[in-house]
Amino acid sequence: MSSRRISLIIPKLDELQKWKACIPKVQFSGSNGPDFDVRSGDVVVIPAGAAHKNLGSTADFQVVGAYPANQHWDMNYGKANEQPQTDQNIAMVAKPQHDPLLGDRGPLIRLWQS
């Protein structure tokens, strides 16, 4: 699959990541999902339950992750024994009060999918 440049993805917020160093390629939604070129300073909002994988990075790779208030990261690998708890956790992700990047005027609330 050809790589694309990405600046922002906003469906159902689970995790916000800001890359501080170059990652040549990130893949979303599993091994058949699209891959994107992500560069230093890019921000990606990752939907709850969306797989994401670093397909290669430079030695100075750093990523900053942020989560909504009272929510913590939840690492899963798509294994059968992780469900139904994983599905329940995804369903419990609450709609945020504000767009994490652009506040009240940002598109997250409008684009949110229940």
User: What pTM was computed for the model?
Assistant: 0.63
Range 7-34 average pLDDT: 64
| Residue 65 pLDDT greater than 70, yes or no | yes
For residue 113, tell me if it sits in a domain.
no
Give every strand in the sheet of 4-5, ordered side by side: 4-5, 35-38, 23-28, 52-54
Confidence tier at 83 by pLDDT (50, 70, 90): confident
For residue 96, tell me if it sits in a domain.
yes
Both ends of the chain: CA-CA distance in Å? Answer: 29
CA dihedral sign of residues 65, 68, 72, 76: negative
For residue 110, tell me if it sits in a domain.
no
3-state secondary structure of 62: coil
For residue 75, tell me if it sits in a domain.
yes
Q: How many domains does the chain have?
A: 1
For residue 112, tell me if it sits in a domain.
no
| Residue 78 pLDDT greater than 90, yes or no | no
For residue 108, tell me if it sits in a domain.
no
For residue 88, tell me if it sits in a domain.
yes
For residue 71, tell me if it sits in a domain.
yes
| Residue 111 pLDDT greater than 50, yes or no | yes
Range of the domain at 59: 4-103
In this structure, the strands spanning 63-66 and 43-47 are unpaired
